[in-house]
Amino acid sequence: MKIYGAKKIKCVYVDVHLHYANNAGRGSDNVTVTVVKKETKRMRIASRYIEYIDQYKTSGWQGYVNFANDRIKSWGGIIEHDGEKAGFYL
C-alpha cells in the first residue's frame, strides 16, 4: 500500500510517525517509520524517540511511502492520516 505525504498515521492499535530524508529522489531507505503508542507526540527528528514499539526504514518517492499490507494489518488498519479520514484500510 502507498500513502502520500503523511507525517502521522493513526491506526487502531498504534500511531505511526514518518520522517522523510532530505532529498527529492527515489530510494530504498529514505523514509524512517516509527511505530509508537497511541497519542505519542511526533518528534521533529526520528532519532530523538526514547520509547517506540518499532522503527525501520522503507522506500519513498515524491511523497509516496510504501507499506507492506501485513504491517498495516498488524497495526489494526489505518483510521486516518494527518487529520484526514482514511476509511479503514486493512
What does each of the 90 residues of the chain score in pLDDT, given as a tens digit? 778 888 999 999 999 999 988 765 566 788 899 999 999 999 999 999 999 999 999 888 777 888 888 888 899 988 888 766 665 555
Helix (H) / strand (E) element for 6: namely none
Between CA 4 and CA 49 the distance in angstroms is: 23
